[in-house]
Structure 1
């Protein structure tokens, strides 16, 4: 029994040694991992990365801004220019004001805050304006003072409006227009702090109020309280042309850096094959490039080819493969 235990333990020890030997050989067969080589980034690659990031940011930002700037600023500015308002202000007198309730009755409003919401409550202000008068110089000075006072001192603006009302009532050679609608701008809407509808309605909505205004030559029923042609052109240039030019230039830069934008003729299959052979041979070392060279034939005549075939024929006939 003792000999049996000794033989069993020796066999177990031998198996352990064999297993360790196998594991050692397996580790030797496994290829060793090469240390990761950190690729050094050149200054050209860094410059290309930063240039691409900058151009992509400008292209996306300027292109996305057009989606908001065009309907909010560019489209009203174009509509204002096409309406052809007068450059020098005339004088308007408020004839009536209607505060209307109901979606069907509010197809337009003299002023509303927000241009996308539905109208359930609106204000209609109607005016008459002076078409012809002989005291344009006096009116021009008064209108300039009133326009400057509206932005700074509302009480002073009301006082100047009362003065203008008394001055107009003493003039007889005045030709008034038919009744027109008063708008805060060409769309009749806007957003604070540029458009404050409560102040607008309180200042111009009182019947008999006299104030400087601008009417459209193409539609005599449209009247605005403020108009500056230079501001409209500046709005179109700053909010449309500048983002559009930035988008186009940055997109062209990205195309030039990462795309093949040149117009090239489509190559034939033979030309593409030769191009691939050139590229493949270009990757070989200097010692192996001679294998890529095509054989040079000194004489391509029919007689030379037939002679070579005749010389090879006996060799083929003589050679017999072993059974």
Structure 2
């Protein structure tokens, strides 16, 4: 009897250890998946306005793949919030500009002789953050009247040109800033659901088969009333 009770105690203790290990593993996985989900959400909040939105706007502008020839025609340095509704280059996109530089250019696409007027932006938004956007270098290279350089014109708005453009780079930016955080957040959400929720669809109860009705005894024939002749 003592041996049987000892073996049962060992079995109970082993089952408790297994349950404890499973609980610790569940807590560890929950904390890890929650961290991934929170990090993915925070990354989306941070990356979308800084990188994804400008890249999507650049793709929507549909810049020509072949560079055109650009010449700076006029340089305006303006002061005042009402006069700075747009700027060719501005470091920082969230604050209002009270001093701005506006560059007016003309460009000529390849295999064409006509010049077209346009405004020059450092990128589709006209603003950005260092080191990607450096307005001092941009002004030095493009802000002198008569400066010649290659530029890319927007087929959606031909009055806008930018000095640099790469469709593959913009697609890669959108992929890194949107697809990867969304994929990680989705995987973490599915993992949390699998750990703590009943995510499987409930099986519909099968309809009970109705018992067949047994045929009853045949109804007796009722003779029609007869008529006798008198």
TM-score range (shorter-chain normalised) is 0.7 to 0.9
Structure 1 SS opposite 2:156: coil
Taking the aligned partners of 1:68 and 1:89, their CA distance within structure 2 comes to 32
Deviation string 1:20-58 (CA, Å, 9 cap, x unpaired) is xxxxxxxxxxxxxxxxxxx85733222212211111000
- Could you say which structure has the larger radius of gyration? 1
Taking the aligned partners of 2:166 and 2:109, their CA distance within structure 1 comes to 19
Unpaired runs of 5+ residues, structure 1, are 1-38, 134-173, 268-323
Task: Choose which of 87, 91, 102 in structure 2 pairs with 1:113.
Answer: 91
Task: Choose which of 198, 207, 214 in structure 1 pairs with 2:152.
Answer: 214
Taking the aligned partners of 1:179 and 1:98, their CA distance within structure 2 comes to 15
Counterpart for residue 178 of structure 2: 240
Counterpart for residue 83 of structure 1: 61
Counterpart for residue 254 of structure 1: 192
Task: Choose which of 49, 52, 63 in structure 1 pairs with 2:27.
Answer: 49
Taking the aligned partners of 2:22 and 2:115, their CA distance within structure 1 comes to 70
Q: CA deviation at 1:176?
A: 3.5
Checking the alignment, whether the CA contact within 8 Å between 2:66 and 2:110 is kept in structure 1 is no
Taking the aligned partners of 2:119 and 2:113, their CA distance within structure 1 comes to 18
Alignment of 1:93-172 (within 5 A): 93-133=71-111
Q: CA deviation at 1:262?
A: 3.0
Unpaired runs of 5+ residues, structure 2, are 1-15, 206-230
Checking the alignment, whether the CA contact within 8 Å between 1:97 and 1:205 is kept in structure 2 is yes
Task: Choose which of 43, 56, 60 in structure 2 pairs with 1:65.
Answer: 43
Greater mean deviation of Cα atoms: 94-103 or 41-50: 41-50
Structure 1 SS opposite 2:109: strand
Runs of 4+ in 1 over 4 A off after TM superposition: none
Structure 1 SS opposite 2:58: helix
Taking the aligned partners of 1:208 and 1:261, their CA distance within structure 2 comes to 66
Q: CA deviation at 1:123?
A: 0.3
Checking the alignment, whether the CA contact within 8 Å between 1:78 and 1:232 is kept in structure 2 is yes
Task: Choose which of 189, 198, 222 in structure 1 pairs with 2:127.
Answer: 189
Structure with the higher strand share, 1 or 2: 2
Structure with the higher helix share, 1 or 2: 1
Counterpart for residue 92 of structure 1: 70
Equivalenced residue count is 189
Say what the alpha-carbon RMSD is for the aligned residues: 1.8
Checking the alignment, whether the CA contact within 8 Å between 1:125 and 1:181 is kept in structure 2 is yes
Deviation string 1:205-244 (CA, Å, 9 cap, x unpaired) is 0000000110011111010000000001000110001101
Checking the alignment, whether the CA contact within 8 Å between 1:80 and 1:232 is kept in structure 2 is yes
Checking the alignment, whether the CA contact within 8 Å between 1:111 and 1:189 is kept in structure 2 is yes
1:228 aligned onto 2:166: yes
